[in-house]
Structure 1
Amino acid sequence: MSTTQKGIAVDARPKRQATAKNIASMKGGTPIVCLTAYITPMAARLDKHCDLLLVGDSVGMVLYGMDSTLGVDLDTMIRHGRAVCRGAEQALVVIDLPFGTYEESKEQAFRNAARALSETGAGAVKLEGGREMAETVSFLSNRGIPVLGHVGLMPQSVHAHGGYGARGRSVDEWQPIIDDAIAIAEAGAFAVVLEGVAEPLARKVTEAVQCPVIGIGASNACDGQILVTEDMLGLFAINPKFVKRFAEIGRDIEDAIGGYADEVRKRSFPAEEHTYKMRGSNS
C-alpha cells in the first residue's frame, strides 16, 4: 500500500524495527549483518543495510581516544544509545553494558540494564562472560531484558587474559570457550558474539549452540558478522587482521581537509557562490 505526496509514491506501511526474537530466528539462515554505531547520522546510514546495530563500549577507543574500553561508563553508553536509536528505524539496537556495571551481582546487572533500555529505547543489552555470567543472563532474560552474550576474546577482561591475542588457537583451549557459549545460550541469550578465535573453533561453537553466533575475527563459519564500522571504513591507520577495509574514508577525509586548507590560504574559498549578497542588489 502506498500514498502519493507531491507526485512521489510513499510507502504508507509502518516500518517494523527488528527484535531480539527476529534475530534469534535467523540461526542457520541468511547471515546476520551487524555493525557498531555511536551517533545519529551514522546510525541512519547503517540502518537500511544492517539487521543489528551495536552501541559498543568500543566508543571509548573510537571516539574518545581511550586505550581500552575499560574507562567507559554507563552514562556515556546511554548518551550514545539515545543518539543511535534516533537514527535507527529497522535494525535492532543493542547497547553494551560497560565494565563494572553488571559483574557484581545479577541485581546490579538488572538495574543497569533496565536503565540502559528505558533511557535509550534500545531493544537489548550485551554483556561479556561465559559460565560465570550464565546466572545473570538467565536473571535478565526471565525479567524481560533480551541479552546478547559475548565469549572468546573479551575486551573487558583484557588485563586478566594478558592482551588482545586470539583465543582457541590450540585444541586444548577449545572446550572452555565452547562451554562458555553453551552456558550463555542455555541461560537465554538470543545470540552470542564470538570474538577472536580460530576458524575450526568458531565452527564448533556455531554448531554447539541453538542461538545465532555472530563472529568478529571468527571466520565465516558463524551465523553472522559484526565489525567496528570505523575499522571497515578505513578511518584508522592500524588494521586488525580480521578486518577488511571496504573503503578508505580516512584518506578521503585527509584529502578533503587538505583541499579546504589550500583554498582558504589562496582565498579561493569562499567563492562568490558561497557569499551572501545585500537584499535588492544584483551585484
Structure 2
Amino acid sequence: MTGYLADDSTASAPLPSVSPQPGRGPLDKKRIRIQHLQAAKEQGVRISMLTAYDALTASIFDRAGIDMILVGDSLGNVVLGYSSTLPVTLDDMERATAAVARAASRALIVADLPFGTYEASPEQAFASAARLMKAGAHAVKLEGGAARAETVALLAGGGIPVVAHLGYTPQSENSLGGPRMQGRGEGAKKLMEDARALEAAGAFAVVFEMVPEPVATQLTKELSIITIGIGAGPYTDGQVLVWSDMAGMTSWSPSFARRFAELGRELESAASSYISAVRSGEFPGSDNYRSE
C-alpha cells in the first residue's frame, strides 16, 4: 500500500544503493556473513551495528552500508510504547524480523529472543529461535551468562548462530535494579567467566552493555569471538546503538550514545509545516493533483 496513486510518469524512482564504504577490507561485501565479521576482528576493522524494526528504516541503513542490523526487543520501547522490553512477544519479534529481512540485502540480521521465550529450557529456546530464523534472521541474540551455555550449545549445534549479551541485560532490569553499570569490582571476574563460557559453548559474538571499558577491552583481546560494545568503551570489535538514539529522534538519549542527527526535531518541523500548508490551502498545490 502506498501513500498516493501515481502513473508511471509520476512515480518516484527507486532510491539508489550506496556502495559499502571503501577501505573496509573484509566488510566490503555484497552480503555480510559471520566469516567476514570474524575476519574483520582479526584484521582490526571495526564493525558497525544499528537496530531496526521495520522495512523502511532497515533499507536506509542497508544502503548506507551498515554491517549488522539488530532487530532488538527495544522494539518495545521505541515502537510499541512500552516502558521496558519485557512485554515484547515472539509474535512481535517475528513480524519485525520479517519486515527487516525483506528490506535488507547486505547486512547480517540478528534478532533478539524476547523475555519468556528461551529461559525455561534449551528446547524452548530452539523452538523460539527457529521461528525468528524462518522469518529471515541470520542469527539470534539472547541475554545471560554461563547459565545459558547449554542453550547456546544446542542452538549453535543446530545451525542457529548465537550472539550473547552480557553486562546490563534489559530483560533482567528488575533483578539488576534498573539500568546500572555491570562488571565493576568483584563483578568483573564473574563477567569474564561468563564471556568465556559462552565462547566455549559456541556463541560467535557477544554484546557488552554498560561494562567498564578496561573489562570490555581485556575480553576483546582474550576472546576469539567478536565483541560488540554499547556503553563499553571504544576498544571492542564493533559498536551498536539503538537507531532512535543515534539519530536524535527523542528529547533524551543515554550518555553512551552520540546523536549523529536531530531527526526528531526535523520530523516535527516537517509535520508542523504540513499542518500549516493544509490549513492555509497551500497544499495540495496545482502540481500535486490533476484536473482531468
Q: Shared topology, TM-score over 0.5?
A: yes
8 Å contact from structure 1 (residues 152, 194) kept in 2? yes
Instruction: Determine helix, strand or coil for the equivalent of 1:265.
Output: helix
- 1:1-283, aligned counterparts within 5 Å? 16-28=30-42, 29-48=44-63, 49-118=65-134, 120-168=135-183, 170-278=184-292
Q: More deviation in 71-80 or 26-35?
A: 26-35
- In the alignment, the residues of structure 2 paired with residue 113 and residue 265 of structure 1 have an alpha-carbon distance, to the nearest angstrom, of 49
Q: CA deviation at 1:222?
A: 0.3
Give the RMSD, CA atoms, in angstroms. Answer: 1.4
User: Which AA in structure 2 matches 1:97?
Assistant: L
After TM superposition, the runs of 4+ consecutive aligned structure 1 residues lying more than 6 A away are none
- In the alignment, the residues of structure 2 paired with residue 33 and residue 115 of structure 1 have an alpha-carbon distance, to the nearest angstrom, of 26
TM-score of the superposed pair, with normalisation by structure 1: 0.90
- In the alignment, the residues of structure 2 paired with residue 22 and residue 272 of structure 1 have an alpha-carbon distance, to the nearest angstrom, of 52
- In the alignment, the residues of structure 2 paired with residue 221 and residue 83 of structure 1 have an alpha-carbon distance, to the nearest angstrom, of 32
- In the alignment, the residues of structure 1 paired with residue 192 and residue 214 of structure 2 have an alpha-carbon distance, to the nearest angstrom, of 12
Q: CA deviation at 1:143?
A: 1.1
Structure number with larger C-alpha Rg: 1
8 Å contact from structure 1 (residues 20, 123) kept in 2? no
For residues 84-138 of structure 1, give each alpha carbon's deviation from its aligned partner in whole angstroms, at most 9, with x where no partner exists: 00111111111111011111001111111112111x1211111111010011101
8 Å contact from structure 1 (residues 149, 191) kept in 2? yes
User: Which AA in structure 2 matches 1:152?
Assistant: G
| Unmatched segments (≥5 aa) in structure 2 | 1-18, 20-28
- In the alignment, the residues of structure 2 paired with residue 87 and residue 27 of structure 1 have an alpha-carbon distance, to the nearest angstrom, of 26
TM-score of the superposed pair, with normalisation by structure 2: 0.87
Q: CA deviation at 1:16?
A: 4.2
User: Which AA in structure 1 matches 2:80?
Assistant: Y
For residues 130-160 of structure 1, give each alpha carbon's deviation from its aligned partner in whole angstroms, at most 9, with x where no partner exists: 0100111011111111001100110011111
Query: How many residues are aligned here?
Result: 263
- In the alignment, the residues of structure 2 paired with residue 145 and residue 16 of structure 1 have an alpha-carbon distance, to the nearest angstrom, of 22
The higher relative CO (CA closer than 8 Å, separation ≥ 6) is in 1
- In the alignment, the residues of structure 2 paired with residue 160 and residue 231 of structure 1 have an alpha-carbon distance, to the nearest angstrom, of 25
- In the alignment, the residues of structure 2 paired with residue 21 and residue 160 of structure 1 have an alpha-carbon distance, to the nearest angstrom, of 36
For residues 163-191 of structure 1, give each alpha carbon's deviation from its aligned partner in whole angstroms, at most 9, with x where no partner exists: 001223x3222111111111111111111
| Unmatched segments (≥5 aa) in structure 1 | 1-10, 279-283
- In the alignment, the residues of structure 2 paired with residue 145 and residue 239 of structure 1 have an alpha-carbon distance, to the nearest angstrom, of 33
Matched residue, 1:4: none
User: Which AA in structure 2 matches 1:172?
Assistant: E
8 Å contact from structure 1 (residues 178, 204) kept in 2? no
